[in-house]
């Protein structure tokens, strides 16, 4: 196409894979090397269809529940974490299993257990039905934790003992929304116990901050991520709140060109479970229609790495 309109693309950094996602994918790959195919994976290892399909091609079989796993095959638990009942069921069947739960999610699980041992009731800020929330609730006795989804829930709360409360949060929430809910909790329950350190993970915070840094210069924002990816959805919300129209897309083929129009500058980012190859795919698609100038907008370098399970690297 001749006479392509100029387009400046501000590429957020950091973006894409976080250390927990990288580790989870490596765990499935190493399990396939160690045990051979098929290796079963309970739920999507991470929320990204491209990643899941690639692992499926390598021999991973994704299932909803443990009873779909044959007795003689290994199973991997997803990065979002699982209730205690799941590894217990695997052990009762003598299944070989590898836990790919993100270490930052595991940290929240340990905090929850400690708070229950102290006799506290936990108010958990998160999204109902998200695998991470289900996994965290599954660490504690039924009724020991109450879900808080919005700031409005705080005013309506009825708790067993206001003097023995604590709060924890899902790791992939909106930083701003969560801060507002936490402020409301502290105002209503002044003695509530806060986590020793913030539960929202570094990758979620950094990716939201990177969007905030570039959004004021952008006419549109494209966020690469799955519709069931909490951290990806939050990135689009961050841009919208700044006043920049944003769309969540899974791949370049999802770009709505009529919606995009002919902007001068767009922002491009990717959720923590979206691979860099999809960023390149979107840039290539944009280059077919526009005269693209790419700019990496560095915000915060990330050097976090997590150890792999001993049973796969020994």
* pLDDT tens-place values along the chain, 314 residues long: 568 999 999 999 999 999 999 999 999 999 999 999 999 999 999 999 999 999 999 999 999 999 999 999 999 999 999 999 999 999 999 999 999 999 999 999 999 999 999 999 999 999 999 999 999 999 999 999 999 999 999 998 999 899 999 999 999 999 999 999 999 999 999 999 999 888 889 999 999 999 999 999 999 999 999 999 999 999 999 999 999 999 999 999 999 999 999 999 999 999 999 999 999 999 999 999 999 999 999 767 788 899 999 989 86
Query: Each residue of 173-200: b (16+ CB within 10 Å) or e?
Result: bbbebbeebbebbeeebeebbebeebbb
Q: Does domain 104-188 have CATH number 3.40.50.12660?
A: no
SS3 247: strand
CATH code assigned to 5-17+202-298: 3.40.1010.20
Count CB atoms within 10 A of the CB of residue 314.
Answer: 7
- Cα separation of 61 and 58, whole Å? 9
Q: Which residues are catalytic?
A: 132
As assigned by CATH, the class of the 19-102 domain is alpha beta
Q: Classify residue 30 by its DSSP letter.
A: H
What per-residue confidence (pLDDT) applies to 188? 96
Residue with tokens 């909490």: 230
Note the helical H segments in the chain.
Answer: 19-35, 49-58, 85-92, 103-117, 131-137, 151-156, 175-188, 202-214, 230-242, 257-260, 276-289, 310-313
Count CB atoms within 10 A of the CB of residue 11.
Answer: 20
- Cα separation of 172 and 133, whole Å? 10
Residue with tokens 């990204």: 48
The model carries a pTM of 0.94
Environment class of 201 (CB within 10 Å of its CB; exposed 0-12, middle 13-18, buried 19+): buried
Task: Assess whether the region 5-17+202-298 and the region 104-188 belong to the same CATH fold.
Answer: yes
- Cα separation of 104 and 102, whole Å? 5
What per-residue confidence (pLDDT) applies to 199? 86
SS3 202: helix
- Cα separation of 64 and 44, whole Å? 9
Domain boundaries, the chain: 5-17+202-298, 19-102, 104-188
Residue with tokens 């995009």: 260
What per-residue confidence (pLDDT) applies to 2? 64
Q: Classify residue 190 by its DSSP letter.
A: T
What per-residue confidence (pLDDT) applies to 264? 98
- Cα separation of 102 and 189, whole Å? 30
Q: Which two tokens stand for residue 199?
A: 């539960």
Cα distances from 161 to residues 120, 183, 239, in angstroms, run 8, 19, 39
Identify which of 103, 10, 15, 8 has the alpha carbon closest to the alpha carbon of residue 300: 15
What per-residue confidence (pLDDT) applies to 298? 75
């Amino acid at each position: 196409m001749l006479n392509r309109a100029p387009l400046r693309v501000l590429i957020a950094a950091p973006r894409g894979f976080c250390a927990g996602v990288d580790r989870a994918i490596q765990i499935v790959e190493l399990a396939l090397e160690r045990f051979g195919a098929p290796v079963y994976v309970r739920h999507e290892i991470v929320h990204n269809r491209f990643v899941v399909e690639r692992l499926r091609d390598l021999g991973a079989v994704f299932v909803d529940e443990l009873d779909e796993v044959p007795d003689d095959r290994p199973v991997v638990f997803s990065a979002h974490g699982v209730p205690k009942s799941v590894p217990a069921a695997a052990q009762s069947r003598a299944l070989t299993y590898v836990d790919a739960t993100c270490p930052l999610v595991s940290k929240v699980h340990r905090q929850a257990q400690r708070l229950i041992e102290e006799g506290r009731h936990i108010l958990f800020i998160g999204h109902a039905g998200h695998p991470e929330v289900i996994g965290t609730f599954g660490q504690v006795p039924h009724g020991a934790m109450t879900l808080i989804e919005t700031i409005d829930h705080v005013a309506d709360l009825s708790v067993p003992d206001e003097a023995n409360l604590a709060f924890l949060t899902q790791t992939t929430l909106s930083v701003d929304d969560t801060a507002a809910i936490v402020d409301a909790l502290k105002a209503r329950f002044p003695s509530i116990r806060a986590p020793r350190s913030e539960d929202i993970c570094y990758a979620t915070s950094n990716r939201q901050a990177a969007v905030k840094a570039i959004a004021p210069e952008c006419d549109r924002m494209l966020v690469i991520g799955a519709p069931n990816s909490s951290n990806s959805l939050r990135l689009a919300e961050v841009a919208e709140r700044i006043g920049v129209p944003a769309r969540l897309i899974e791949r370049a083929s999802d770009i709505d060109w009529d919606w995009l129009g002919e902007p001068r500058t767009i922002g491009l980012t990717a959720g923590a479970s979206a691979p860099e190859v999809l960023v390149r795919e979107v840039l290539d698609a944009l280059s077919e229609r526009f005269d693209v100038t790419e700019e990496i907008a560095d915000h915060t370098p990330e050097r976090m790495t997590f150890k792999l399970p001993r049973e796969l690297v020994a």
